[in-house]
């Protein structure tokens, strides 16, 4: 059997090799490298999200009516303060409950 041709190096690894070998970056540990990778990925995602949002046209209100909460008006969807999807619970009560749970879990696990 003929040996398969060698695979080209991955771009990410080639870039890292160049940066390490020239002394441009010095990452002390693999955990630090993972954090920097996550930071770079987050920034790239944010830049792409903003760029795409700026160059695309927003959906017309007619397409969003009844689909999102802020576009529901008139007879399309009957909404009242007491009738929410969570069984009628007040959002302030739900928020207070969530905060209480976070505080209790912090006390237990810290």
Question: Three-state SS string across the chain, please?
Answer: CCCCCCCCCCHHHHHHHHHHHCCCCCCCCHHHHHHHHHHHHHHHHHHHHHHHHHHCCCCCHHHHCCCCHHHCCCCCCCCCCCCCCCCCCCHHHHHHHHHHHHHHHHHHHC
Structural domain of residue 36, as residue ranges? 13-56
107 and 69 in a common domain: yes
Question: Total structural domains in the chain?
Answer: 2
Instruction: Give the pLDDT score at 65.
Output: 75
Q: Is 6 domain-assigned?
A: no
The predicted structure's pLDDT at residue 108: 93
In this prediction, residues 46-72 reach a mean pLDDT of: 84
Residue at 19 is within a domain: yes
Task: Identify whether 8 is part of a domain.
Answer: no
Average pLDDT score over residue span 93-101: 94
The answer to whether residue 91 is domain-embedded is: yes
């Amino acid at each position: 059997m003929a040996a398969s041709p060698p695979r080209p190096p991955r771009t990410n690894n080639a870039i890292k090799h160049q940066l390490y070998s020239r002394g441009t970056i010095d990452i002390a540990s693999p955990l630090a490298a993972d954090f920097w990778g996550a930071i770079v990925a987050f920034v790239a995602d944010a830049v792409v999200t903003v760029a795409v949002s700026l160059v695309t046209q927003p959906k017309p209100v007619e397409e969003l009516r009844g689909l999102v909460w802020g576009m529901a008006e008139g007879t399309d969807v009957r909404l009242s303060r007491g009738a929410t999807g969570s069984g009628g619970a007040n959002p302030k009560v739900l928020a207070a409950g969530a905060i209480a749970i976070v505080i209790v879990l912090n006390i237990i696990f810290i």
